[in-house]
Structure 1
Amino acid sequence: MKPALLFLLLVLSACRWTAQPESGRHAKAQGAEPSAPNVIIVFTDDQGYADLEPFGGANLRTPNLNRLADQGVRLTDFYVAQPVCSASRAALLTGAYPNRVGVSGAFMPDTGRGLALEETTLAEMLKARGYTTALMGKWHLGDDPALMPNRQGFDEFFGIAHSNDMWPYHPLQGDVFNFTDLLLFENETPLRALEDQSDLTRLLTDRSIAFIEANKQRPFFLYLAHPQPHVPLFVSGAFQGKTGAGLYADVIGEIDHSVGRLMAALERYQLADNTLLIFTSDNGPWLAYGDHAGSAAPLREGKGTVFEGGVRVPFIARFPGRIRAGSEVNVPLMSIDLLPTIAGITGSPLPERKIDGKDAWSVLTGASDHPPHEAYYFYYGDNELRAVRYGKWKLYYPHSYPSLNGREGGAAGLPARYETLELTQIALYDLQRDPSETRNLAAQHPQVVARIEALAQRQREALGDGLRGQAGRERRPLGRAPD
């Protein structure tokens, strides 16, 4: 063969193998690798905004998460869609507001309710693209066999079906609750009832690393959903008392160690440069538990409220060579945006059913400082539209919410009793100047209130509003187990 012809064939072959259909708009701009990127999401439970050193955690030590932030991007204004377990997870996995897909609150065991099988999860989207998928940890989107993770796009599941406090040792067992055993599952098979959760963080990390090793030659999606630091708190023996700052700090220390082990595994198998690694939480801290809860300081309130402490959570993402190391983004984003963003970088088609999230890749990479949405909407309770984030502003509608009202939380794993407080008038806060939401500026900025109200009314027409008795025309039913 002539040298010139041989050279031409080699060039054409190289072009063929480096093509990346559909994701080229992201990959080309960032110098993408020819292989599909791996995706890992570490999703903790009830971890507050200030429970990491990069987000102000003065009494906690998180060296591995510090390193992750130094190597990636830290989002200061990242939100979950609702401040509670099941609804938050539904938004993450579907890219839709949870009330769009019929999910609200936290599912109790054995109710036959869960995420509808007709919805497309992040795992199903990536599985259709050729990815191997795994959930290690907490599911909480339906504990009936027909609604469990293996029916929702996950090739592997190792973990628990619902929250770790839904077990016979709940402090209110027999008075308020009557929970049965908390089961540890291997796919759809219950392995054993958990009597002690001390080794769960370590076991989930072990299984995650084994999954990475087994799939190092193919694209994979790993969803590591730690049940901690949701109460009851547990750490393995190596971390008991290690920090000297109490059990909660020990739990955060073990979670940080888990992230360090994942990072080391990616380096060991030479996967770090082709893996998007995300760390975030499902909602803010459960303040009623006092010394067994985290902190959202300086943000207002915590879990169970749509104030900043309930829905703004820590977020770190690393993707070497594509996300600028050591960067910080102050643009508001929400968990609903992760699915379409991941769709973009993996070349995956979006779900056929309507979703709410938008591709935020340009924001994550610093190419744009414009949020993908004009506003974000915060629902809670009986489909109540309680708040709207609009640029630097956040507006609240009158509603009731749980609060300690300045009192201390509980101690040693027992909760303090919340009071029910009433927000009696519209409140508008400038989050740039007042992140603690202390100065109501609604009277001074009526034009901002009017603009947000116009956007909110459009949202009510689509998804409803229990505060105003509107049903919404676009809500879809939640999943139910067969009779």
Structure 2
Amino acid sequence: MKFVISILTVFLSYTGALSAQKTTAKPNVIIFFTDDQGYQDVGVFGSPLIKTPNLDNMAANGIKFTDFYAASSICSPSRAALLTGSYPPRVGVPKVLWPNLPGGLNNQELTIADMLKTKGYNTACIGKWHLGDEAQYLPTKQGFDSYYGIPFSNDMSVNPKSKVSEDILFREGMTIDSLREEKWRGRRVPLMRQDEVIEYPVDQSTLTKRYTEEAVSFIKENKDEPFFLYVAQTMPHVPLYASPDFKGKSARGLYGDVIEELDWSMGEILKTLESLNLDENTLVVFTSDNGPWTKKGEEGGSALPLRGHKFETLEGGMRVPMIAQWKGKIKPGSVTDKVASTMDLLPTIAYLTDAEVSDKPMDGKNIWPLLSGNEKANSPYEKEGFYYYKESTLEAVRKGDWKLRITKDCVALYNLKEDISENTNVAAANPKIVKKLQKMMTEFDADLKANQHQYN
């Protein structure tokens, strides 16, 4: 099924009046994706100590989603879902990918970047990739014109088979021989440009700043043409690093320093758009790949008032902060509690750009009615439910306010409206609801596994 534009986009002006006019310019798109940032770790989401004035201002000028989900509670699957609009098992990336091991997001998958290339967009991936570090899986084979970043998590090592730039910068006593060794050197990761390692190991304290500079340069270079910019920040994945300008400045310790530098980064991007008069033609989305790594103690974030964390299908593992801004198209100060997910970004962007999507099964839905402030719009998951996968195992479903979670330990039913922290299991008192949701899970999982994407 190809995505077809069949109705005019509804735009909401600052006065609240509706207009049926559709933009004639191709909108730019920026996705700012952080790593392991908890639900609470933004001022407007309730952080008591971390200051995020730029994100708070973004919410004041746009929309805040309180019930927004990553499609996985771990890195690689979450990124695959964002870029393809599908649950991770459907596109063959249910687990975390590791350096120097086979596997990755198949380059026959249609990514957001692939899709927008067909509409004449310039595309860039900056930051953490984590969808395969072999040449065939890198961003430049997945629709991105350019890539600058680290190919996986910052606690990993280098792939000794990596292609190396002729003018590579070696640090910390490393050499080409030590890079080529089959030796695990955790936390020593490479910086890449395109498909080549240009620095090893990268100075991680400079990553957020350098990603920001790269993003600003890309925007300036492409100000006269439509662009898609995917900024996948390395932080706040552990190990944490902040630049000297931010280290030691937050009331929340190093973790807070890192988040406040990420907030600065978002601010620099927004300021650049405004200075170039691009903010009225640019959709900007901020969100996180999954919940916080709370087992890391002070170096981990907070998902409060949610229960759970990274690696889990409890709310704290998969419900993430989300803010979107588009001057003149998204009503300032909007808030929605309708369920939506990272998978919805691809079909939404397709709608806004008149782009076609793959004819393969896809799980995401167009959420422009929610983004644009249509008060009659419902969550695309209101009827069919949102599903929580832990790797290839379906553990939970949310339908409306009800969430059923089934693990080897127990069957738990929660009313998320009354019990956002998932403290009270009401399964015993609601057997009919349990049965209905369990049937939904069984049928959906069977359908997904029967319709996983196939490749030539």
TM-score, normalized by the shorter chain, greater than 0.5:
yes
CA deviation after TM superposition for structure 1 residue 180, in Å? 8.8
> Is 2:442 the counterpart of 1:432?
no
Structure 2 distance, partners of 1:286, 1:478, is 34
2:115 aligns with 125
Determine what percentage of the aligned residue pairs are the same residue: 43
CA deviation after TM superposition for structure 1 residue 478, in Å? 8.7
Q: Tell me, which stretches of 5 or more residues in structure 1 are unaligned?
A: 1-20, 170-175, 400-423, 464-471
Per-residue CA distance 1:17-47 (angstroms, 9 max, x = gap): xxxx948621674644321100000000000
1:444 aligns with 429
Structure 1 distance, partners of 2:428, 2:414, is 11
From 225, 234, 250, give the equivalent of 1:243.
250
> Is 2:451 the counterpart of 1:474?
yes
> Structure 1 residues 253 and 30 mapped into 2: Cα distance closer, same or farther (>3 Å)?
farther
2:401 aligns with 392
Structure 2 distance, partners of 1:24, 1:38, is 21
Q: Secondary structure at the match of 2:91?
A: coil
CA deviation after TM superposition for structure 1 residue 177, in Å? 5.7
> Is 2:388 the counterpart of 1:378?
yes
Per-residue CA distance 1:72-91 (angstroms, 9 max, x = gap): 00000000111000000000
1:18 aligns with none
CA deviation after TM superposition for structure 1 residue 245, in Å? 3.2
> Is 2:294 the counterpart of 1:311?
no
Contact 2:49 2:251 in 1 (8 A): no
Q: Which moved more, 1:352-361 or 1:29-38?
A: 29-38
Contact 2:205 2:241 in 1 (8 A): yes
Contact 1:283 1:310 in 2 (8 A): yes
Matches within 5 A, 1:55-204: 55-167=45-157, 179=186, 181-204=188-211
CA deviation after TM superposition for structure 1 residue 398, in Å? 2.1
> Structure 1 residues 324 and 222 mapped into 2: Cα distance closer, same or farther (>3 Å)?
same
Per-residue CA distance 1:98-125 (angstroms, 9 max, x = gap): 1001111210101121001111001000
Contact 2:308 2:315 in 1 (8 A): yes
- TM-score (ref. length: structure 1): 0.84
> Structure 1 residues 104 and 262 mapped into 2: Cα distance closer, same or farther (>3 Å)?
same
From 330, 339, 347, give the equivalent of 2:354.
347
1:406 aligns with none
Contact 2:108 2:455 in 1 (8 A): no
Per-residue CA distance 1:142-180 (angstroms, 9 max, x = gap): 1001110000000010001000110389xxxxxx96559
> Is 2:289 the counterpart of 1:282?
yes
Moved over 6 A (4+): none
> Structure 1 residues 23 and 136 mapped into 2: Cα distance closer, same or farther (>3 Å)?
farther
Q: Secondary structure at the match of 2:219?
A: helix
Please identify the structure whose Cα radius of gyration is greater.
1
Structure 2 distance, partners of 1:208, 1:32, is 28
Structure 1 distance, partners of 2:330, 2:357, is 22
Structure 2 distance, partners of 1:234, 1:165, is 12
2:8 aligns with 25
- TM-score (ref. length: structure 2): 0.89
> Is 2:259 the counterpart of 1:269?
no
Q: Secondary structure at the match of 1:236?
A: coil
Q: Output the amino acid matched with 2:326.
A: F
- C-alpha RMSD over aligned residues: 1.9
Contact 1:202 1:258 in 2 (8 A): yes
CA deviation after TM superposition for structure 1 residue 477, in Å? 5.9
Q: Output the amino acid matched with 1:448.
A: I
Structure 1 distance, partners of 2:65, 2:298, is 27
Determine which structure has greater relative contact order: mean sequence separation of CA pairs < 8 Å that are 6+ residues apart, divided by chain length: 2
Q: Secondary structure at the match of 2:427?
A: coil
Q: Output the amino acid matched with 1:150.
A: T
Task: Count how many residue pairs are aligned between Structure 1 and Structure 2.
Answer: 420
CA deviation after TM superposition for structure 1 residue 389, in Å? 0.8
Structure 2 distance, partners of 1:244, 1:310, is 24
Q: Output the amino acid matched with 1:111.
A: L
Q: Secondary structure at the match of 1:239?
A: coil
> Structure 1 residues 430 and 209 mapped into 2: Cα distance closer, same or farther (>3 Å)?
same
CA deviation after TM superposition for structure 1 residue 366, in Å? 2.4
> Is 2:38 the counterpart of 1:45?
no
Q: Which moved more, 1:309-318 or 1:25-34?
A: 25-34
CA deviation after TM superposition for structure 1 residue 460, in Å? 2.0
